[in-house]
């Protein structure tokens, strides 16, 4: 199987796993992460197959989405060997998908290869800007979060377990607790550049949101 065929088999596998997701990780998110990773690859000398495979597979075994993430990681690993990736490539892809998340980057961040850094940047770029705002509202609605409560101050410097066990989360606080931190956490120069405008868009959104909110006080 040549590289192009391997990538389309991985795309199909990811589609089959993600198509019914309703937690904001729909396949459209995956496709944007892949497209952004391709864009970043143009300026970074990383392995294309490993990068795109990790982009397609990065949310498949997310513990928010599946009951037994370890079992699914083993399944993905066997699938990659079945389509003739080497054990080294499969190991690297699984290491990336396992260590990508924002919460894992709090405390002591795992060291990622250049491919991993690119996929992490692409995933984070999809969490900011207009799409990021929409995904946060969608996620917050689905989890019955309050939209905004000025009595609950944002907790800006959370560690991993505090972030994972947040109580009384509000959609607006999520911006301060995660989304506004992502720009300075970007790994690659290309992602840093794309992030600037999206970051400003969120700041403008928050300013406008609060001015409209305060009209009733």
Residues forming the site for ligand ADP (CB under 6 A): 24-25, 59, 64, 101, 123, 127, 132, 135-136, 139-140, 145, 169, 171, 174, 178-179
To ligand ADP, the closest distance from the beta carbon of 5 in angstroms equals 27
Asked if residue 52 lies in contact with residue 37, where contact means CB atoms within 8 angstroms, the answer is yes
Nearest residue (CB) to ligand ADP, 87 versus 142: 142
Q: Which does 125 bind (CB under 5 to 8 A by kind): ligand ADP, Ni ion, none?
A: none
Q: Which residues pair with 146 in a beta bridge?
A: 170
Q: Which does 127 bind (CB under 5 to 8 A by kind): Ni ion, ligand ADP, none?
A: ligand ADP
Confirm or reject binding of residue 169 to Ni ion (CB under 5 A): no
Distance CA 137, CA 172 (A): 9
As given in the structure block, the two tokens for residue 37 are: 């990773």
Binding mask 45-84 toward Ni ion (x if CB under 5 A, else -) reads: --------------x-------------------------
To ligand ADP, the closest distance from the beta carbon of 23 in angstroms equals 7
Distance CA 137, CA 23 (A): 11
To Ni ion, the closest distance from the beta carbon of 111 in angstroms equals 20
Q: Say if residue 134 is exposed, middle or buried (CB neighbours under 10 Å; 0-12, 13-18, 19+).
A: exposed
Nearest by Cα to 172 from 206, 121, 207, 135: 206
């Amino acid at each position: 199987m040549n590289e192009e065929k391997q990538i389309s088999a991985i795309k199909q596998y990811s589609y089959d796993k993600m198509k019914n997701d309703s937690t904001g990780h729909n396949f459209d998110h995956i496709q944007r992460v892949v497209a952004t990773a391709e864009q970043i690859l143009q300026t970074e000398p990383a392995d294309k197959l490993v990068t795109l495979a990790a982009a397609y597979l990065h949310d498949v075994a997310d513990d928010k989405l599946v009951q037994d993430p370890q079992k699914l990681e083993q399944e993905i690993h066997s699938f990659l060997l079945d389509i003739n990736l080497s054990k080294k490539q499969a190991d690297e892809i699984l290491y990336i998908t396992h260590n990508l998340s924002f919460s894992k980057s709090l405390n002591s961040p795992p060291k990622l290869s250049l491919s991993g850094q690119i996929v992490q940047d692409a995933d984070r770029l999809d969490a900011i800007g207009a799409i990021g705002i929409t995904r946060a509202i969608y996620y917050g609605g689905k989890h019955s979060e309050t939209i905004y409560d000025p009595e609950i101050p944002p907790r800006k410097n959370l560690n991993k377990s505090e972030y994972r066990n947040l109580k009384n989360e509000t959609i607006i606080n999520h911006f301060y607790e995660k989304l506004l931190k992502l720009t300075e956490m970007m790994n690659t120069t290309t992602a840093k550049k794309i992030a600037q405008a999206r970051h400003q868009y969120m700041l403008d959104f928050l300013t406008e949101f609060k001015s409209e909110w305060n009209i009733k006080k």
